[in-house]
A = this chain, B = another copy of it.
Amino acid sequence: MAAALVLAARGRGLSAPNPNVGCVIVRQGRVIGRGWTQPGGRPHAEAMALDQAGAAAAGATLYTTLEPCAHRSARGPACSDLLVAAGIARVVTALRDPDPRTDGEGHARIAAAGIAVTNDVMPDEARRAMAGFLTRRAAGRPHVTLKLATSLDGCIALHSGASKWITGPAARAHGHLERARHEAILVGRATYDADAPRLDVRLAGLEGRSPRRLLMTRMDAPEGWEAVRGPAAIREIEGVDHLLVEGGAQTAAAFLRDDLVDRLLLYRAPILLGGRQAVGDLFLNIVDPAHGRWRLIDQRPLGSDRLEVYERARS
C-alpha cells in the first residue's frame, strides 16, 4: 500500500475532478503492474496496472488507495468489473470511495465475485494523498494548503519590505515542488503589488507543471491571473482540488479566520528579523480556542532551514 500511495502522489494536481489513485499488483512477491490516475482522470490507476500485468494478473493481489469504481462511464469500464475479469485473487484498499456511484458498491461487487477484500489499510496516509478529491467530496471546495516561509520570530519580511532571501535554496526548491502538486496558487493584492510574483515552478523537468494563478481582489485580474473575491469564493473555482495560498499576511489571516486552511507548510530559517509578521489579525480575544487545531505530521531539515507540515485536526 505504501508503494501505491507513492504512485498516487504522481497524479496529484493533474487528475481533478477525479481522485489521484495509486495501484500496485503483486504476484508471488513480485510487482507485475503499477498504475496511477492519468492526467485528466483517465485511465484509472487500476486499469493502467491491470493493463501492465496482462494475463499474469490471474491469481495476483491488487493494492489500491481507493475502492475500485463500480460505475461504467463513456470513458471506460468500471475498475471493479475489470479486476474481476482479470482473475485478481485478492484486493486490498485504503479507503472507501465517497462517490455515491461507488461508495461500497465496488467492494460489494468484488466480494460477490468471490474475491477476498481488505479495506482500511493506511487510511490516514491515503486521506493525505488524495486530500483534494476527498475535500471536494466532503466540503465542496478545494483542499487548501497555506505556505509560510518565516524567520524564527515569525516574520516574512523586514519592515523595509525586503524578503530576499529568508529561506535558502533547498527550502525554496521544495516550495516549487509543492507548487507543482497544486492546480492553483493564490496570493493577495498586497503581495501581488509588492512582488508581482511569477508563481511558476522553477525546477528542471517540471516547468510545464506551473499552476493557475489566482489573485484575491475585488478588482479585475491582470492578464494571466484569475480574480477570486474572497476565501469563500474558492468553492466556485472549477478544476481546482488543491489550492496553495502563498501570501501575504492578510490573505493568510482571511483564510484562517474562515477555517479554510487544511494544511500548513511552515519553512523556517534560523534567523531573527524583527520585521513584518506572517499572519494578520485573527480576531481572537483569548488564546484557548487557538489550541488543538494543528497537528504536526512531518518535519525535515532543508539545508539550514527546517520544514514543518501541520494538518488541521477536524473531528
Q: Which A residues are within 8 Å of any B CB, using their own CB?
A: 148, 150-155, 158-160, 162-166, 253, 256, 264, 266, 269-275, 277-287, 290-291, 293-296, 308, 310
Q: Given the complex, which residues of B lie within 8 Å of A264, measured CB to CB?
A: 152, 272
Q: Which residue of B is nearest A313, CB measured?
A: B270
B154 touches A287 (CB 8 A): no
A310 touches B270 (CB 8 A): yes
| Complex alpha-carbon distance, A152 and B150, angstroms | 10
- The interface residues of chain A, by DSSP majority, are classed as loop
B293 touches A271 (CB 8 A): yes
A287 touches B153 (CB 8 A): no
| Complex alpha-carbon distance, A271 and B154, angstroms | 12
- Assess A256 versus B274: contact at CB under 8 Å? Given A152-B154, A152-B266, A154-B152: yes
| Complex alpha-carbon distance, A158 and B275, angstroms | 17
| Complex alpha-carbon distance, A152 and B281, angstroms | 14
A278 touches B165 (CB 8 A): no
Q: Given the complex, which residues of B lie within 8 Å of A280, measured CB to CB?
A: 274
| Complex alpha-carbon distance, A256 and B271, angstroms | 11
